[in-house]
């Protein structure tokens, strides 16, 4: 468009002619194929957000801007894997710009120019700014770098000025979103009744005996399920079986695997590279020029591949070692000795207990809870398990693991001082307090500042052109001979060397399926309106070093849910209901204690005991954590026996032997604070889902990309 505008300014009528020619050039193929939007063809509407229509040219322009920013940062344009991610980023940004902005405006939220200045060069620097302007010498944020950059901004290229403007805009949007989320997060609260419920669920205990007849004790083949029964179940459970646009395919792969000749050639190449690396005067430059993947010249022990890590103690300076297998590559190394870095590296895990608020009483409660956990770990409790069940940050999901980090200010000061002041590895015996709360820390790998000098050449075995041509020939021959599902299946029966794979319920926006990460072309073929169920692909698709021929085996429509869309799931549900009716009918006619009932029922009936179970974490031996059975156990009085009832995976007769109610607790603040913190942590997710639902987003990107 900038080119067209410039031409128009220069030459009037000529500009109009050239502009029209450019438009024809860009959309001509669509016009002649009847797909143009200029003359009443398909819409250029790529989606809708909160009532605003998103047109394909507008979206594409934003994508190109994002691509330019990516290119400026990465030094190369986005590839097949990066482009879909960038499109998602652009789409999510548009949701923020449109749907979120309406919510911000409704509440009168804004970020003032003064606030933005404070985030960039004031007293409350935004984390993104800190990251961008870290002094490489000290590893610390340097505000002078920011001020110097801003002074020189007007003399920089226009692209760089625009990039900074976009960056500042993103800072403002991030602050707006934080304000909005914090506002709603502060509205979360937990009542005494909710806290009491949590306390009771975790503390009340029962001892139970129960008869359990699992559904698997009756053979599936003995239960006949009709389509009419499936239709009835689907009709009465529509909320559980939502419609969506999906496709199912079967496909045959023809992998491009290096031949014996390719492997022999590769090893000759590695041998020659090893000899040349040994005599190279500039080994680091030689390694970079000859590697498929670059690795750092200096590496800490933690950064080395496992095979090298276990062998490096035997390396001699100037020696050549390898090849070592590292993922999909083979590596050879020239060892140049060690050096001491100015920074130390350590690996640690932690458990964070945060106070509910900034009051002294809340801090005291948090400290008490943290000390209790620390004492339990000292007494033999598993650190990782305690982290998963108690830590109040994201590392809880990985057992508290924080990975490797350096003493460069990446961690808050008290935490960093405690970890890097600790000798060796193991549990730090005292709590560490920071602004985030109280930390229980375990050093899993001791600090070190030793770096190893290794010039590494990393090469992958690449199939030769003749190997690739032969694989394609086989795939193309198969595709040409098998245009339908029937022919597809017949060929597979004849040729046992071919392996057929399935991918079910592929979504419209999927970039791949199963273990294929970049199979967008196959997905688009499957969703093409010209592709019918039973059609095989005439084209051979190339994905991840293999050729693929596919056949479409199924379609689902979000506006028309059919039993075939969920046949397996529906059949399992209906079959379970029929088994439940059969088992309960048989049990209803039997009396006596649990052992007598089981004996009279016959094969399949189990009698088991579970002691000291809680409602929150109860497990019933063979039946597992069945919520219906657990609820029934806590609902019965001691000595009371239930009638047969259906659980998740079988039929129960429950008998409560002993019930131990939760002791009276005057102060529920711990449970109240924990529940509130957990609710606050989920706020961001719930906000996002609610805004997207309210915006009634229509996403048609799959029709364009």
* Residues 321-379: tens digit of each pLDDT: 988 887 778 899 999 998 888 889 899 999 999 988 778 888 888 999 999 999 999 99
Residue 570 CA to residue 576 CA, distance in Å, equals: 10
Q: What pLDDT shows up at residue 37?
A: 40
Q: Mean pLDDT, the chain, as a whole number?
A: 86
pLDDT score for 136: 64
Q: Are 236 and 526 in contact (CB under 8 A)?
A: no
Q: At 409, is the pLDDT very low, low, confident or very high (cuts 50, 70, 90)?
A: confident
Contacts of 467 (CB under 8 A, 6+ apart): 256, 257, 258, 259, 262
**Could you read off the pLDDT of 542-565 as tens digits, one per residue?**
998 899 999 999 999 888 899 988
At residue 532, the pLDDT reads: 93
pLDDT value for 109: 92
Contacts of 92 by beta carbon, 8 Å cutoff, 6+ apart: none
Confidence tier at 293 by pLDDT (50, 70, 90) = confident
Per-residue pLDDT at 520 exceeds 80: yes
Q: Which residues pair with 339 in a beta bridge?
A: 451
Residues 51 and 12: their CA atoms lie apart, in Å, by 38
CA distance linking residue 432 with residue 437, whole number of Å: 8
101: left (phi over 0), alpha (psi -120 to 50) or beta: alpha
205-240+567-660 and 258-462 in the same fold: yes
Q: What is the pLDDT of residue 21?
A: 37
Q: How far apart are CA 336 and CA 319, in angstroms?
A: 8
User: Residue 205: pLDDT band by 50, 70, 90 thresholds?
Assistant: very high
Q: Which pair of tokens denotes residue 630?
A: 């657990």
Q: With 0-12 CB in 10 A as exposed, 13-18 as middle and 19+ as buried, what is 287? A: buried
Tokens of 165: 């403007």
pLDDT of residue 11: 33
Distance, in Å, from the CA atom of 62 to the CA atom of 49, rounded to the nearest integer, reads 16
Instruction: Check pLDDT > 60 for residue 145.
Output: yes
For 465, the token pair is 């052109």
For residue 4, pLDDT over 60 is answered with: no
Share of the chain above pLDDT 90, in %: 46
Give strand pairing partners of 213. 651
Average pLDDT over residues 456-466: 89
Buried b (16+ CB within 10 A) or exposed e, 438-457: bbbbbbbeebeeebbbbbbb
DSSP state string for 396-445: GGGTTEEEEEESSSSS-HHHHHHHHTS-SSEE-SS-EEETTEEEEEEEEE
**pLDDT reported for residue 162:** 82
- Cα–Cα–Cα angle for 378, 380, 386, rounded to 5 degrees: 85
Mean pLDDT, range 40-53, rounded to an integer: 80
CB 471 within 8 Å of CB 256: yes
Give CA separation, 104 vs 92, 605, 696, 698, in Å.
16, 60, 18, 21
Q: Which tens digits make up the pLDDT trace of 301-327?
A: 878 888 888 888 899 999 999 888 877
Confidence (pLDDT) at 138: 66
pLDDT tens track for 249-292 = 999 999 998 888 888 889 899 999 999 999 998 988 999 899 88
- In the predicted model, what is the mean pLDDT of residues 589-596? 91
Give the mean model confidence (pLDDT) for residues 79-94. Answer: 87
Contact between 672 and 192 (Cβ < 8 Å): yes
Summarize the confidence of residues 237-242 as an average pLDDT: 89
Confidence tier at 153 by pLDDT (50, 70, 90): confident
What's the pLDDT at 485? 92
Q: What is the mean pLDDT of residues 465-489?
A: 92
Mean pLDDT along residues 498-527: 91
Rounded CA separation 556/114 (Å): 53
CATH classification for the domain delimited by 205-240+567-660, as one of 3.40.1800, 3.30.450, 3.30.70, 3.10.50: 3.10.50
Among 461, 456, 422, residue whose Cα is nearest residue 440: 422
Mean pLDDT across the stretch 435-463? Answer: 91
- pLDDT tops 50 at residue 294: yes
Q: Please check the confidence at residue 702 and state whether its pLDDT lies above 50.
A: yes
Model pLDDT, residue 420: 92
Judge whether residue 581 has pLDDT over 80.
yes
Report the pLDDT averaged over residues 647-660. 94
Q: Would you state the pLDDT for residue 127? A: 86
pTM value surpassing 0.85: no
Domain residue ranges of the chain, discontinuous segments joined by +: 1-42, 205-240+567-660, 246-257+465-559, 258-462
Q: Are 200 and 635 in contact (CB under 8 A)?
A: no
Residue 33 has pLDDT above 50, yes or no: no
Do 387 and 402 form a contact (C-beta atoms < 8 A)?
no
Going by pLDDT thresholds of 50, 70 and 90, the confidence category of residue 26 is very low
> Cα-Cα-Cα-Cα dihedral of 170, 175, 178, 184, to 10°?
-120
Distance of CA 523 to the CA centre of its chain: 21
Any idea which fold 258-462 has?
Answer: Chitinase A; domain 3 (3.10.50)
| pLDDT on residue 586 | 94
What gap in Å lies between CA 101 and CA 104, rounded to an integer?
5
pLDDT above 70 covers what percent of the chain? 93
Cis status, amide bond into 152, omega within 30 of 0: no
| pLDDT for the residue 375 | 92
């Amino acid at each position: 468009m900038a080119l067209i505008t410039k031409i128009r300014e220069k030459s009037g009528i000529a500009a109009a002619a050239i502009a029209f020619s450019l438009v024809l050039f860009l959309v001509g193929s669509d016009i002649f194929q009847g797909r143009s939007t200029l003359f009443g063809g398909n819409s250029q509407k790529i989606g809708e957000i909160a009532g605003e229509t998103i047109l394909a040219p507008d979206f594409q322009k934003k994508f190109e801007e994002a691509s330019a920013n990516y290119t400026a940062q990465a030094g190369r344009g986005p590839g097949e894997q990066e482009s879909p991610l960038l499109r998602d980023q652009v789409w999510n940004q548009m949701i923020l710009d449109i749907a979120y902005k309406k919510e911000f405006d409704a509440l009168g939220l804004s970020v003032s120019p003064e606030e933005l200045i404070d985030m960039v060069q004031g007293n409350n620097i935004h984390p993104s700014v800190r990251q961008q302007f870290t002094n490489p010498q000290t590893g610390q944020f340097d505000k002078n770098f920011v001020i110097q950059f801003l002074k020189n901004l007007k003399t920089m290229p226009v692209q760089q000025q625009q990039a900074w403007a976009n960056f500042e805009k993103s800072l403002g949007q991030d602050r707006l979103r934080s304000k909005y989320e914090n506002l709603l997060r502060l509205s979360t609260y937990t009542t005494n009744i909710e806290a009491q419920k949590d306390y009771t669920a975790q503390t009340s205990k029962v001892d139970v005996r129960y008869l359990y007849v699992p559904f698997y004790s009756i053979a599936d083949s003995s239960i006949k399920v009709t389509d009419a029964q499936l239709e009835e179940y689907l009709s009465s459970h529509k909320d559980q079986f939502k419609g969506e646009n999906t496709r199912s395919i079967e496909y045959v792969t023809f992998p491009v695997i290096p031949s014996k000749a390719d492997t022999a050639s590769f090893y000759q190449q590695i041998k020659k590279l090893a000899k040349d690396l040994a005599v190279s005067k500039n080994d680091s430059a030689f390694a970079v020029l000859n590697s498929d993947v670059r690795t750092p010249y200096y590496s800490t022990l933690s950064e080395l591949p496992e095979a090298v890590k276990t062998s490096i103690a035997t390396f001699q300076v100037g020696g050549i070692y390898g090849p070592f297998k590292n993922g999909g590559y083979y590596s050879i190394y020239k060892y140049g000795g060690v050096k001491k870095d100015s920074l130390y590296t350590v690996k640690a895990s932690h458990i964070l207990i945060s106070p509910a608020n900034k009051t002294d009483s809340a801090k005291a409660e948090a400290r008490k809870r943290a000390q209790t956990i620390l004492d339990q770990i000292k007494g033999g409790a598993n650190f990782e398990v305690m982290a998963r069940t108690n830590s109040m940050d994201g590392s809880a999901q990985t057992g508290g693991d924080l990975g490797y980090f350096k003493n460069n200010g990446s961690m808050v000061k008290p935490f960093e001082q405690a970890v890097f002041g600790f000798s060796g590895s193991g549990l730090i015996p005292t709590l560490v307090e920071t602004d985030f709360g109280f930390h229980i820390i375990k050093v899993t790998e001791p600090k070190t500042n030793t770096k190893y000098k290794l010039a590494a050449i990393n090469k992958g075995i690449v199939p030769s052109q003749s190997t690739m041509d032969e694989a394609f020939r086989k795939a193309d021959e198969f595709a040409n001979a098998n245009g339908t599902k029937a022919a597809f299946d017949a060929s597979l029966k004849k040729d046992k060397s071919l392996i057929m794979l399935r991918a079910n319920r592929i979504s419209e926006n999927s970039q791949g399926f199963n273990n294929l990460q970049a199979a967008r072309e196959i997905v688009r073929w499957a969703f093409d309106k010209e592709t019918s169920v039973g059609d095989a692909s005439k084209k051979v698709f190339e994905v991840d070093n293999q050729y693929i021929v596919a056949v479409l085996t199924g379609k689902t429509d979000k506006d028309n849910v059919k039993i075939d869309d969920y046949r397996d799931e529906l059949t399992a549900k209906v079959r379970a209901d029929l088994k439940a009716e059969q088992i309960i009918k048989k049990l209803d006619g039997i009396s006596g204690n649990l052992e007598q009932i089981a004996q009279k029922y016959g094969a399949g009936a189990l009698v088991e005991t579970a002691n000291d179970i809680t409602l929150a974490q109860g497990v019933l031996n063979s039946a597992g954590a069945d919520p219906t059975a657990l609820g029934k156990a806590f609902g019965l009085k001691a000595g009371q026996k239930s009638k047969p009832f259906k659980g998740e995976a079988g039929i129960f007769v429950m008998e409560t032997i002993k019930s131990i109610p939760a002791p009276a607790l005057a102060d529920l603040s711990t449970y109240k604070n924990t529940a509130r913190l957990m609710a606050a942590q989920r706020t961001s997710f719930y906000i996002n889902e609610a805004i997207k639902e309210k915006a009634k987003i229509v996403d048609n990107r799959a029709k364009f990309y």
